[in-house]
Amino acid sequence: MNTENHSQTAAFLWSIADLLRGDFKQSQYGRIILPFTLLRRMECVLAPTKDAVIREAHAQEGRPDLVRERLLLRAAGQQFFNASKLTLGTLSDTQTAADLMSYVQSFSKDAREIFEHFHFEDFVQQLSSANLLYQVVQRFAATDLSPERISNFGMGIIFEELIRKFAESSNETAGEHFTPRDIVHLTTSLVITGQDDKLKPNSIVTIYDPTAGTGGFLSEGDEYIQSISQQVTVSLHGQELNPESYAICKADMLIKGQDVTSIKLGNTLSNDQLAGPEHRFDFMLSNPPFGVEWKKVQKQITDEHSEKGFNGRFGPGLPRVSDGSLLFLLHLVSKMRDPREGGSRIGIILNGSPLFTGGAGSGESEIRRYLLQNDLVEAIVALPTDMFYNTGIATYVWVLSNHKAAERKGKVQLIDGSQHFAKMRKSLGSKRQYITDEQIEDLVRLYGRFEQTAQSKIFPVEAFGYRRITVERPLRLNFQTSAERIEKVLEEKAIQRLEAPARQRLINALQAMDASVLHRNREQFSKLLKKTLGNHDFFPSTPELKAILNALSERDPEADICMVKGQPEADAGLRDNENVPLGESVYDYFEREVKPHVPDAWIDESKTDAQDGEVGIVGFEIPFNRHFYVFQPPRPLEEIDRDLKACTDRIKQMIEGLSA
């Protein structure tokens, strides 16, 4: 069944919401349509074995629940069952609500729980009170959602389409719930391509998504592996924060015959429910929310960082609170298998900020440093803009591995896929573009070939590192006791606190000095000032003297250098930083790049890196666009002049037209 038909089915299911107009708010439609769609799909999946299950249920009455559940699952031939004789089509028109709830209660435990996350019973009662329940039930009962007509994969797409409609109708952002399928397909292909050693017959492969949404990445990973390998068991694991997305993901897994105990509900960052050394995965795929702050879970994360360090998930550092996407990346890295056991591969979608936000020594830079220095980053692919339902920003797929092929060791591949897109016939929210299957194959080939081309650049890891040195220049001041500067002295806080007589003695002393002389040496002026103040019975404290000198001074490049204990004093206003490429001597760089321009500058050697103790703080950034920048020469001036003239002529004509 092709995508067109999936869209038609989704549109038909959504049209059932027309019955709800007037009685329900638009923002509630999805909360009714989604669970009913799930219920109907589950009913269609169970239809072939329904009679056998009812017979078995009858035979097993009175047996312990666990035994009964196991036998009924076997009779159903699925990961779930329903032991009721009822179906949506046979609910009575007089006591529909009671029949429907009894029907839902007859599901096995995991399936029942799905409807609880949708608060299904509340909506059933509301539909019943509005006299709409029977009509809604009849509509769903008449829709064919059988696996023969719609594959599990197709059903996943229908659910996503419904969620998107739900999100639009309630002004939510659909992008929080799922990733467009073309991006899912690309990311999965990049991560799983060339991994034949992991996909040998009879092997078990694990896939994990810490931001599982409705399970798109998990389904696609499963689908992809099944399509390229024989007899491989795929085990899916995930955690999701939103209860409705979680319920859909769980239903999807149940219908596919997956073990749903590995799909968890909760916040992955503050409450990792798949923690512990037994939870290490072969492949990990994630599209964490872009630029979402983590203030709500700040305490748990900061505690884990400070108390557990590298024994926890966030050892390398913490990004700023306004964007938690790098926390998800660290979380995934903590779940990598030991390289001696085959290692792990990660595909994660991030916006531009994790590439370069944060200077040397910041949390972001330290996280990049950890990933790059441990040689975990294999490739980064720039995607086109306008690819997501809720944002048009530039995004990137990061591919990480702790088991790199020999030729990739110590290297990072950057791929510019920003021109790999086709325009959509009809945009979906912010999504105006998509990547075709051919373009996905092309990007996977660029990645697989690992060659230097216009769209694929290869760099040693060190190329992204630098040392930030602090360059100081000496303070040079002149001093003068002019009327304006004396005025400034009186504005200083330390001087305003003086008693009136003392302040007057200070003014007398300053006015006694020659206002026309410009002093260009602080030590000499200071001596003269103290002497004059003493002559006028004014003996300043250190803060007062500092305030007076400050107010009487101005920066002057011609003045002598201000010295402290025989060393030049640095001028904070002229302080500058230089980023020295990693691997180059900071002193050679300084002599070549700085000294010729500012001969009196020096390096502040007290600023050293926390990790290696050397002068200069190490930083890492990945300036993606700089590496793919192509210079476009400006147009010839005559051409620009011609265009401007045409434009001004048009404006003239319009003005004449108005005044005519």
Q: Which is nearest to 384 in space by CA: 375, 376, 393?
A: 393
Buried b (16+ CB within 10 A) or exposed e, 607-633: bebeeeeebbbbbbbbebeeeeeeeee
- Is the CB of residue 556 less than 8 Å from the CB of residue 477? yes
* Residue 173 pLDDT greater than 70, yes or no: no
* Mean predicted confidence (pLDDT) in 536-552: 92
Secondary structure of 554-623 in HEC code, one letter for each residue: EECCCCCECEECCEECECHHHCEEEEEECCCCHHHHHHHHHCCCCCCCEECCCCECCCCCCEEEEEECCC
pLDDT given for residue 354 in this prediction? 92
pLDDT computed for residue 216 by the predictor: 86
The whole-number pLDDT of residue 446 equals 94
Residue 174 — very low, low, confident or very high, per pLDDT cuts 50/70/90? very low
Q: How many DSSP H helices and E strands does the chain contain? A: 25, 19
Mean pLDDT (whole number) for 384-394: 75
Encode pLDDT of 563-605 as tens digits: 999 999 999 999 999 999 998 999 999 999 999 999 999 999 9
Residue found under tokens 């070549």 = 592
Residues of the chain with pLDDT > 90, as a percent, come to 62
Binned at pLDDT 50, 70 and 90, residue 432 comes out as: confident
* 3-class secondary-structure state, position 431: strand
Say if residue 220's pLDDT is above 70. yes
> Could you tell me which CATH class the domain 179-462 is placed in?
alpha beta
- CB contact set of 24 (below 8 Å; sequence gap of 6+): 32, 126, 130
Q: Calculate the alpha carbon distances from 130 to 14, 94, 244 in Å.
A: 19, 14, 24
> Would you state the pLDDT for residue 175?
47
State yes or no: pLDDT of 35 exceeds 70.
Answer: yes
**Closest by CA position to 214, among listed 273, 255, 274:** 255
Beta strand ranges found along 406-492 (DSSP E): 411-416, 422-428, 431-434, 456-460, 465-472, 477-479
Q: How many residues does the chain have?
A: 660
> From CA 548, how far away is CA 492, in angstroms rounded?
8
Residue 290 has pLDDT above 90, yes or no: no
Beta bridge partners of 208: 237, 284
Give me the pLDDT at residue 634, please: 84
Please state, for a pLDDT cut of 70, what percent of the chain lies above it: 97
Distance from C-alpha of 558 to C-alpha of 539, rounded to nearest angstrom: 31
- Start-to-end CA distance of the chain, whole Å, equals 64
Q: Identity (one letter) of the amino acid at 202?
A: N
CA dist 171 and 429 (Å) reads 11
pLDDT confidence of residue 345: 97
Instruction: Kindly indicate the confidence band of residue 231, based on its pLDDT and cuts at 50, 70 and 90.
Output: confident
CA distances from residue 598 to 460, 566, 569, 574, 586 in whole angstroms, order as listed: 32, 21, 16, 11, 16
Mean pLDDT, range 365-373, rounded to an integer: 96
Q: Produce one character per residue of 409-445: b if its CB has 16 or more CB atoms within 10 Å, e if not.
A: eebbbbbbbbebbeeeeeebbbbbbbbeeebbeebbe
Could you write out the DSSP letters of every residue in 238-268? EEESSHHHHHHHHHHHHHTT--GGGEEES-T
What pLDDT, in 10s, does the model give residues 402-429? Answer: 999 999 999 999 999 888 878 877 777 7
Using an 8 Å Cβ cutoff, are 412 and 464 in contact? yes
The C-alpha atoms of residue 123 and residue 104 are separated, in whole angstroms, by 13
Residue 86 has pLDDT above 60, yes or no: yes
**Range with the lowest mean pLDDT among 17-26, 344-353, 603-612?**
17-26
Q: What is the mean pLDDT of residues 30-59?
A: 92
What is d(CA 389, CA 172) in angstroms, rounded to the nearest whole number?
11
Question: Smallest Cα–Cα separation from 185: which of 456, 449, 434?
Answer: 434
- Rounded to 5 degrees, what are φ and ψ at 356? -140, -10
Q: Tokens in use for 462?
A: 């060190």
CA dist., res. 403 & res. 224, Å (int): 21
Whether 174 contacts 164, CB under 8 Å: yes
**What are the start-end ranges of the E strands in 461-539?**
465-472, 477-479
What is the Cα–Cα distance from 122 to 115, expressed in whole angstroms? Answer: 11
**pLDDT for residue 2 is more than 60:** no
In the predicted model, what is the mean pLDDT of the chain? 90
> Per-residue pLDDT averaged across 84-97, rounded?
91
Question: What is the amino acid identity at position 218?
Answer: L
As a whole number of angstroms, the distance between CA 346 and CA 283 comes to 6
| Structure confidence at residue 440 (pLDDT) | 92
CB 309 within 8 A of CB 315: yes
Neighbours of 63 (CB within 10 A): 12
Spell out the residues 6+ positions from residue 547 whose beta carbon is closer than 8 angstroms to its own. Answer: 489, 492, 493, 494, 495
Residue 585 neighbours by CB under 8 Å, 6+ apart: none
570 within 8 A of 472, measured Cβ to Cβ:
yes
Domain limits, the chain:
3-172, 179-462, 477-568
d(CA 382, CA 98): 54
Token pair in block for residue 197: 């050693």
Q: What angle do CA 599, 605, 609 make, to 5 degrees?
A: 130
Q: From residue 121, give the alpha-carbon distance in Å to each of 32, 126, 210, 308, 418.
A: 10, 9, 29, 43, 47
pLDDT for 407 equals: 95
